[in-house]
Amino acid sequence: MLDKAQKQTGAGSTAGQMLDYMPGFGNDFETESLPGALPQGQNSPQKCAYGLYAEQLSGSPFTAPRGTNERSWLYRIRPSVRHTGRFQKIDYPHWKTAPHVADHSLALGQLRWGPLPEPSENLNFLEGIRTMTTAGDALTQGGMAAHAYAFNADMVDDYFFNADGELVIVPECGAIQVFTELGKMDVEPSEICLVPRGTMFKVTRLGEEKVWRGYLCENYGAKFTLPDRGPIGANCLANPRDFKTPVAAYEEKETPCRVHVKWCGQFHVTEIGHSPLDVVAWHGNYAPYKYDLRTFSPVGAILFDHPDPSIFTVLTAPSGEEGTANIDFVIFPPRWLVAEHSFRPPWYHRNIMSEFMGLIYGRYDAKEEGFVPGGMSLHNMMLAHGPDATGYEKATNSELKPVKLDHTMAFMFETRFPQQLTRFAAELETLQDNYIDCWTDLKKRFNGTPEGDWS
Ligand SMILES: O=C(O)Cc1cc(O)ccc1O
Ligand SMILES: [Fe+2]
């Protein structure tokens, strides 16, 4: 498919201009921002059109089975090897990488935070990332990190790639433009995007806000994919056509630029004299994408009881052990609650998997108050949690007519690994010291009679 990409040339779109995307999950895409830039019938012509360089970006081993084999061919103004000079070490002290057991004095517990405070200085996306938890081991390519971000400045001549894993960006406040080597994505709250491991990009602000804020899941392991639907069949949940991959777009800029790299938990920077986002055309299946969470078609309880939240999995990153995800990215979208004679909110729960949650807008049905948009909670491996006392009270007494749970979008990064808290998270001023008090009023109702004490 040679797409509408011709519209999308040179110097990049300005905010407000609609970008073009190609639909589908894991498709083999092709796109060119200048006519004839993409070679036909071969990957490596002796001379590429427009004097471009051909370069392969491999997201899987060459020999991975077809189902998981991912690579793209990039046709660019300079090869990437000219987009990095001699590296120097640089510090991003707030971005931590597993294994990382922080030195802090916070004891084990169910934890909840308010949103990150607004930055008191100018910070771009990269400088605004704050690691909350890490899990597993980036060096053996398993596990993840949960980050929050808050920034108020653009990456202009600063570019970044993460060799340690792919990044899922979940904006909560403020739309952003993610300009990657393979094209541009405008991403607003309720949408997410994924930047594959090793892909160069920069993030700029869209619209007027005081702060651009959200969450970030760094996946050190096997790539996120769509979960199997089993007996649900061929439709619903996250449908492949709702994933949007950007068309080719490039920047031709011969000015001083910096490329920042995260590699095995350490950061390096190199100065170059041009933009590294210079891919004029590309084809392949290793590519960024965005997804609108509002297009998720939930399937749920239509008679009684509360199903496991795995029914709301948007993307899953397998760990090699069947059914045991390195990470599940799960959402709690607007939906109808119709279950009869049932306790409708999430049940009380202890879990071998560990649950990091955030809220994009609205209110979450297990928490009547305290869990606010931009906030975070951590229910770590085997730590009990569930609805707060007010939620329990309501759920056990309310009339069970159909109710639309509307205007709500919470999400969870759930991992098989215990999540280690960073010192930043342990000492964050928005940590709610009284979180566990939300369960204090769950009183004893057992009185030895089958009716119980509901007074
Ligand atoms: O709020 C949570 O803890 C997440 C969650 C939601 C749900 O519907 C069932 C189980 C579960 O862990
Ligand atoms: Fe849970």
Query: Per the annotation, where are the binding residues for homogentisate?
Result: 364, 385
Integer distance in angstroms from the first to the last C-alpha of the chain?
Answer: 66
Q: Is residue 76 part of a domain?
A: yes
Asked if 175 and 189 touch (Cβ cutoff 8 Å), the reply is: yes
| Residue 6 pLDDT > 70 | no
Q: What is the mean pLDDT of residues 335-350?
A: 98
pLDDT band at residue 7 using 50, 70 and 90 as cut-offs: very low
pLDDT band at residue 84 using 50, 70 and 90 as cut-offs: confident
Q: Is residue 128 part of a domain?
A: yes
Domain that holds residue 356: 303-439
Q: pTM for this one?
A: 0.96
Q: Is residue 446 part of a domain?
A: no
pLDDT band at residue 16 using 50, 70 and 90 as cut-offs: low
How many Å lie between the centroid of ligand 1 and the Cα of residue 36? Answer: 51
**Based on the domain organization, do 120 and 251 belong to the same domain?**
yes
**Based on the domain organization, do 269 and 319 belong to the same domain?**
no
Per-residue HEC secondary structure of 345-379 comes to: CCCCECCCCEEEEEEEEECCCCCCCCCCCCCEEEE
The tally of domains found in the chain comes to 2
**Based on the domain organization, do 77 and 149 belong to the same domain?**
yes
pLDDT at 366: 81
**Based on the domain organization, do 331 and 236 belong to the same domain?**
no
**Based on the domain organization, do 68 and 194 belong to the same domain?**
yes
**Based on the domain organization, do 333 and 406 belong to the same domain?**
yes
pLDDT band at residue 166 using 50, 70 and 90 as cut-offs: very high
pLDDT band at residue 13 using 50, 70 and 90 as cut-offs: very low
| Residue 3 pLDDT > 60 | no
How many Å lie between the centroid of ligand 2 and the Cα of residue 355? Answer: 6
Q: Classify 184 as helix, strand or coil.
A: strand
290 touches ligand 1 (CB under 6 Å): no
**Percent of residues, the chain, with pLDDT higher than 90:** 94
**Based on the domain organization, do 289 and 311 belong to the same domain?**
no
366 touches ligand 1 (CB under 6 Å): yes
pLDDT digits (tens, 9 = 90+) for 343-387: 999 999 999 999 999 999 999 988 888 999 999 999 999 999 999
**Based on the domain organization, do 289 and 308 belong to the same domain?**
no
73 vs 343: CA distance, rounded Å: 52
Q: Which residue has the tokens 């000219």?
A: 82
**Based on the domain organization, do 421 and 348 belong to the same domain?**
yes
95 vs 127: CA distance, rounded Å: 9
How many Å lie between the centroid of ligand 2 and the Cα of residue 351? Answer: 7
pLDDT at 340: 98
Among 268, 293, 318, which residue terminates a domain? 293
Q: Is residue 183 part of a domain?
A: yes
CATH value at residue 217: 2.60.120.10
Q: How far is CA 206 from CA 178, 201, 211, in A?
A: 10, 16, 11
Lowest mean pLDDT among 11-15, 81-85, 149-153, 175-179: 11-15
pLDDT at 17: 79
Question: Which of 209, 140, 139, 131 is closest to 167 using CA atoms?
Answer: 131
Q: Is residue 435 part of a domain?
A: yes
Residues 6 or more apart in contact with residue 112 via CB below 8 angstroms: 370, 371, 375, 376, 377, 378, 431, 432, 435
Asked if 424 and 131 touch (Cβ cutoff 8 Å), the reply is: yes
**Based on the domain organization, do 356 and 421 belong to the same domain?**
yes
Reported ipTM: the value is 0.98
User: For residue 312, which atom of ligand 1 is closest to its CA?
Assistant: 8
306 is catalytic: yes
182 vs 195: CA distance, rounded Å: 10
- The separation between CA 36 and the C-alpha centre of its own chain, rounded to angstroms, equals 34
Catalytically annotated residue among 94, 104, 306, 379: 306
**Percent of residues, the chain, with pLDDT higher than 70:** 96
Q: Is residue 396 part of a domain?
A: yes
pLDDT band at residue 36 using 50, 70 and 90 as cut-offs: very high
Q: Is residue 453 part of a domain?
A: no
**Based on the domain organization, do 277 and 378 belong to the same domain?**
no
Q: Is residue 69 part of a domain?
A: yes
Among 293, 314, 344, which residue terminates a domain? 293
| Residue 15 pLDDT > 80 | no
Q: What is the mean pLDDT of residues 307-334?
A: 97
Which stretch of DSSP H or E encloses residue 427? helix 423-427
Q: Which of 313, 343, 347, 355 to mutate to test the pocket of ligand 1 (most atoms within 8 A of CB)?
A: 355
